[in-house]
Amino acid sequence: MTMMRRLTVLLMLVLLALPTLAQDSEDDYPRPIAPGETILPIEDLPDAETGCFPAFPLIPGDVIYIEPGVNIRNIPSQSGAIVWNTIIDNRDERGNVIDDPFNVEAVIVDGPVCNQGLNWWQITGTGNPGWVAEGRRDYEGGYWISAPGTEMRGVCNSTYPFEIGETVDLLYNVRIHDAPTAAALTKTVVPYENPVLILAGPQCV
């Protein structure tokens, strides 16, 4: 085979390969999402009836952090009046808007309320108390609040098959709280191997 013929064959092979390479590159993400298409796993889709994703596992008293630029409203709705904004109303001691805003700390009072596809939480601790939306996992910006330390709340291992009215012996000294959470007030400490009576439960908190 002459040198010219070898070059011609090589050129033809390269030209044949180019459409394949172009097709592969088009399949790479990110790419536009077609109407009706979703990139979320089916189990992570919002509720078909309410349009909301499962809410964060928050309870009253939890501390959350709200991203800059988020509106706090007087009711749990996007049509509610804006009572505070985490940039515009986030001011220093002299009343100046903070140029380099940070996540604003707030405390959960009530919620969640699902409205307009968003989970809303009533909060205090900002300049004006009100309602803040979580955001959504399928939004470009994702969620607008975070709550460190609550991620595993509600995720429990299998429970013992106790029955109401059953008496069991404790394997360790155990604190008895006045509510089903380790943060609740300790009423007493039951010594090791003491029998206790099962009255209710279980509750995963």
pLDDT for residue 178:
82
If asked whether residues 54 and 140 sit together in one domain, one would say yes
Which pLDDT score, from 0 to 100, does residue 2 have? 52
pLDDT band at 192; cut points 50, 70, 90: confident
Assess if residue 29 is contained within a domain: no
Tens of pLDDT along 117-169? 999 999 998 888 999 999 998 888 889 998 887 766 666 666 778 888 889 88
Span 18-29, pLDDT tens digits: 444 343 434 333
How many domains does the chain divide into?
2
- Tell me what pLDDT residue 46 has: 82
Q: Which range is most confident: 57-66, 95-104, 177-186?
A: 57-66
Q: What is the pTM of this model?
A: 0.56
Quote the pLDDT of residue 9: 41
In this structure, the answer to whether residues 141 and 169 fall within a common structural domain is no
Residues 63 and 120 in one domain: yes
In a domain, 34, yes or no: no
Q: What would the two tokens of residue 59 be? A: 């309870």
Nearest to 97 by CA among 63, 68, 67: 68
34: its two tokens: 């077609």
Q: Within a domain: residue 13?
A: no
In a domain, 14, yes or no: no
Examine residue 138 and state whether it is found in any structural domain, yes or no: yes
Residues 114 and 183 in one domain: no
What does the pLDDT look like over 72-118, one tens digit per residue?
A: 999 999 999 999 998 888 777 777 777 666 788 899 999 999 999 99
pLDDT higher than threshold 50 for residue 8: no
- Residues 66 and 107 reside in one and the same domain: yes
The yes-or-no verdict on residue 51 having pLDDT over 80 is: yes
Task: Note down the domain range covering 138.
Answer: 44-146
Residues 113 and 53 in one domain: yes
In a domain, 199, yes or no: yes
* Confidence check: pLDDT of 63 > 80: yes
Q: Are residues 57 and 128 in the same domain?
A: yes
130: domain CATH number is 2.30.30
DSSP per-residue codes, 87-99: TTT-B-TTSPBPS
Q: Which of 143, 165, 158, 145 is nearest to 204 (CA)?
A: 158
Q: How far apart are the first and last CA of the chain?
A: 78
Give the range with max mean pLDDT: 35-49, 54-68, 164-178: 54-68
Q: Tell me, what's the pLDDT at 154?
A: 62
* Three-state SS at 11: helix
A 10 A CB-CB count for 78 gives: 13
Please indicate, yes or no, whether residues 109 and 49 belong to a single structural domain of this protein.
yes
Is the pLDDT assigned to residue 15 strictly greater than 60?
no
Please report the pLDDT score of residue 205 as a whole number.
67
Q: Do residues 199 and 111 both lie within one domain?
A: no
Identify the domain boundary among 100, 126, 146: 146
> Could you write out the DSSP letters of every residue in 139-194?
STT-BSEE-TT-TTTT--PPPP---TT-EEE-SS-EEEESSSSTTSPEEEEEPTT-
Domain shared by 138 and 189, yes or no: no
Residue 5 above 90 pLDDT?
no
* Residue 39 CA: distances (Å) to CA of 43, 82, 202: 12, 33, 36
Residue 162 lies in a domain: yes
Q: Considering the domain boundaries, does residue 194 fall inside one? A: yes
